[in-house]
Chain A
Amino acid sequence: MANGSSLFAQNIKSSDKKSNRTEKEEEITKALTFAIGEQVYGIEIPYVKEILGVPKITRVPCAEVPYYIKGIINVRSKVVPVVNMRACFGKEEIEYNEKTCTIIVELKDITVGLIVDEVLEVLSVMQKNIAKTPDLNNVNENKFIEYILEMKDGIKLILDIKKIIFDHDLMLRLD
């Protein structure tokens, strides 16, 4: 985390210095990054409502509900479904530990909790860091990716929340 925040500060500084020189340098948005295994993913900040630990999950015992939807949780009297991102990306599930977090995202009145291995940092998304998503048909996983950030400390995949929330067929194809 400490590393992350210094990086964040650095970004701000650099953008201040060369302010408005070119459009590419400007911050487009901020993203919250998290890890699943070795890979770093991100979600644009406007979608993120809050970050929780792993609360008590109540399983929804219905055969139709896919395995990566772990159940429902109580977020301040609101019933929110939770998706295990590991399972969702077809990775092996691991036990929840003290680093495991639930990121509550919201889009158009639909709220979903995403269970991730670890929440990392908030970083500024600059136009210059964005690389176009390669071949969309290549890997299933890429279909959830809105764009890729190439940062000094590695590649970060920014997720497309719309697809995670609305594109159920995509999720089902992963099963």
Chain B
Amino acid sequence: MAKIESGMESMIDMYIFETNTLLEQLDEILLKTEEAQTFTDDDINEIFRIMHTVKGSSAMMGFDELQYLAHKGEELFFIIREKPGQLDDVSFIYDLVFRMSDLFKAEVELIQGEEEYEATDFSDVIKDLEKGASMLTDGAPAAGTEVGTYADVEKEKAGGCPGEGAVTVRIFFQDGCKMENLRSFMLLNKIREEADVRGFHPADLEGDPNASDVIIEEGFTVTFKSENDDNDSVLKLIENAINVESYEVISDGKPSETEAAESSSTAAAPVEAAAPAAENIPAPIVIPAPEPAFTAAPVPAASNANQAAALNTGKQSIISVNLAKLDQLHDIVGEIITTESMVISNPELEGLKLESFHKSARELKKLTDELQDTVMSIRMVPLAGPFQKMNRIVRDMKMKLGKDAELKIMGEDTEVDKTIVDSLNDPLMHLVRNCMDHGIETSAEDRVEKGKPAKATVTLNAVSSSGEVIITVSDDGKGIDCEKVLRKAEMNGLLMKPASDYTEREIQQMILMAGFSTNDVVTEFSGRGVGMDVVRDNIEKCGGTLTVESKTGYGTTFIIKIPLTLAIIQGMEVKVDNTVFAIPISTIRQSFKVRNDEIIQDTQRGEMIMIRGECYPIIRLHEKFAIPSEITNFEDGILLQVETDGKNVCLFADRLIGEQQVVVKPFPAYLSRYNIKGAGLSGCTIMGDGSISLIIDVANLIEAY
């Protein structure tokens, strides 16, 4: 049972973020190497580094099980690293490591969850990891894996002669920063990236329970030699490391002091060893480490993951920010803009001649607009994250289904609002799975027969166009079998009109309906028939639409259209009596005046209008929302033709106010128990003058009609 220590809460977020990032990196490397069927040295080192960092940070957070799991993975790659010649058959490693990475992700999700975290038992996979390790060490017993552990080799290295140019440094951590041994360990890893570590004391940082006390008492002594004789950069690294209170250079690598360095570094645990070494230098240089700039987030793990960047630039160029803070910033900016227009168009200024005031006001407006754009852009993240994850899905499905396919990714640098990216993960996964499972032909022969390459292609593409991002997931498989779909729909009672009346396009859209699955056999990946409508719902929830296009024999394309951002929409503001409604511009087809004789009355007193040979029902907004408007004659007001999901209606309003970017706000939580959405309103927005307008949800409005 892993318990989160108090004071660690602030680190948990960081830990989760870092670990997830690392695990994704791991997946990426594994996929790449699997493709190439070989591990390069760099890959092995990188995987090793990832495992190591995960292990370190897990231990730091007190997640012992995770630490152990990572440790076993690290061990496996340690063996691979030490014996690169023996990698004849590495295929089992992929499955093993993928399994491990999955377990890790699941566990991290658990930690992230609301409920109290309880460590999962990983003994199965750990056993397999041990087995894998022993297989690599030439059938030695499982215990044999211990022979070549990391620490042992380090000890060996520590035993070696430090040689010329090696620097010995004693580091003291801040009082009460806790877990000095792990901090030392992590610092050591950082130093390792820059320099060749010749030895350190205490030698057993992980196993020895007294290591922390020793470090508190005597400091952490490390001897290293920089690869390119740039010892200063390593010292700088130590100086900037988190929680380092001070450090002193015991020996700066000059020949005369080699001995001292050696004595301090080779000793297994000599308490006195460091002391004489210190005496060798008349005046030890004690440089108080400056307070780290980011003390607010005392997260060693953070610096670890970004260490590559940090080491290159000296400072991180990317920081991670809590989304809630961004939302807050966004709100404040909205407030500033509202207040600004209250000031500038204040009624008390009317009639005054204020030339310089208006000039300044324009300047201010320009700046606030820029501010708003910047804040919006902060929330934008590229789609690369969710796209890259699909590699893994395709790989797994390929193995399980025995289909040969490759994933092509295009436009992954398209940026979308963070909340949308998060909600796209599941839909994309379902769609890619669907393409793999249903889209692509079961046998490669079928494909070759049809003149297609044996290897199928699944394509992910993203392009942005005028406030919308269009993501397509397509395969070059067999396409949708319309007859089969129709039969199935009939069987499931989904048909609303005679089967012969359906167009090809309508039939294709049926696969997105609830409770539909054409696959005869339920597979592990898909076929439960819940997939596609859940996908559609998820996408619609974030304001997007899902359609499908297919050509029998040539493949299927799913098209997701989502707004660039949830927070701002382009809206047309219309007035009904004193109430202002905003209608999303994307749904409006046209607005026009009518003469009364163009209106068609149907038998139920419903009103319709004929536009270019098509009849559209009219919804009077004042009637629909029970607003006592004086304008009830069509000739006095205006009609707006709106369309969504291929359905068209005309809305009748008093007059148009104009087009405006509106910041969408949900209705307050207090009102959430009333079905306001069902009434055709999706939210509200605060207008320039501080009053509130209501945003019309065209889809629901039509449905309710």
Contact = CB atoms under 8 A, between A and B. Distances in A.
Interface of A: 56, 58-65, 69, 72-74, 76-81, 109-112, 165, 168
Contact of A65 (B334, B335, B669, B674): B674
Given A65-B674, A110-B670, A111-B668, A60 B693 contact: no
A79 B692 contact: yes
Nearest to B580: A58
9 contacts: A62-B675, A63-B626, A64-B675, A64-B676, A65-B676, A74-B691, A76-B335, A111-B668, A111-B670
Interface in B511-537: none
Interface stretch (B61-69, B166-174, B213-221, B679-687): B679-687
A39 B331 CA distance: 39
B692 A69 contact: no
Looking at chain B's contact residues, the main secondary structure is mixed
Nearest to A63: B679
B671 interface: yes
B674 A62 contact: yes
Contacts, number: 80
Given A58-B579, A72-B692, 4 more contacts: A64-B676, A65-B674, A79-B684, A111-B668
Given A58-B691, A60-B681, A111-B668, A77 B334 contact: yes
A101 to B, nearest CB: 19
Contacts of A72: 667-668, 671, 684, 692
B690 A61 contact: no
A69 B671 contact: yes
Which 10 A-B pairs have CB atoms at the shortest separation, nearest pair first?
A61-B625, A77-B335, A62-B679, A64-B674, A58-B692, A62-B676, A81-B670, A81-B668, A65-B674, A74-B686
A65 B671 contact: yes
B338 interface: yes
Given A58-B691, A60-B694, A61-B625, A79 B667 contact: yes
Contacts of A112: 668, 670
Interface residues of B, number: 29
A60 B691 CA distance: 13
A79 B665 contact: yes
Interface in B92-106: none
Nearest to B691: A56
Contacts of A59: 579, 627
B330 to A, nearest CB: 10
B673 A168 contact: yes
Contacts of B670: 81, 110-112, 165
Contacts of A61: 579, 624-627, 679, 681, 694
A112 B672 CA distance: 13
A74 B668 contact: no
Contact of A64 (B331, B338, B624, B679): B679
Contact of B676 (A58, A60, A74, A76): A60
Nearest to B338: A77
A165 B670 CA distance: 7
B694 A58 contact: yes
Contacts of B674: 60, 62, 64-65
Contact of A109 (B665, B669, B694): B669
A80 B669 contact: no
B579 A79 contact: no
Contacts of A65: 671, 674, 676
Contacts of A73: 692
Interface in B58-100: none
Contacts of B667: 60, 72, 79, 81
A107 to B, nearest CB: 10
A84 B694 CA distance: 21
Contacts of B624: 61
- Which of A72, A77, A110, A168 has the most chain B CB atoms closer than 10 A to its own CB? A77
Nearest to A66: B674
Contacts of A165: 670
A62 B669 CA distance: 15
A81 B671 CA distance: 7
Interface string B596-631: 000000000000000000000000000011110000
Interface in B293-337: 331, 334-335
Nearest to B684: A79
Contacts of B678: 62
A77 B663 CA distance: 10
Contacts of A110: 668-670
A81 B672 CA distance: 11
Max chain A CB contacts within 10 Å: which of B334, B579, B686?
B686
Contacts of B579: 58-59, 61
Contacts of B331: 77-78
A85 to B, nearest CB: 15
Nearest to A62: B679
A117 B626 CA distance: 27
A168 B669 CA distance: 13
Contacts of A168: 673
Nearest to A111: B668
A160 to B, nearest CB: 16
Contacts of B625: 61
Contacts of B668: 72, 79-81, 110-112
B669 A60 contact: no
Contacts of B338: 74, 77
B131 to A, nearest CB: 51
Given A61-B579, A63-B679, A79-B684, A74 B690 contact: yes
Contacts of A80: 668
A98 B175 CA distance: 61
Nearest to B689: A56
A51 to B, nearest CB: 18
A91 B359 CA distance: 52
A56 B692 CA distance: 9
Contacts of B681: 60-62
B188 to A, nearest CB: 45
Nearest to A112: B670
A65 B693 CA distance: 17
Contacts of A81: 667-668, 670-671
Contacts of A74: 338, 686, 690-692
Contacts of A64: 674-676, 679
A56 B693 CA distance: 11
Contacts of A56: 690-692
A54 to B, nearest CB: 13
Contacts of B335: 76-77
A80 B692 CA distance: 11
A78 B665 CA distance: 9
Nearest to B627: A61
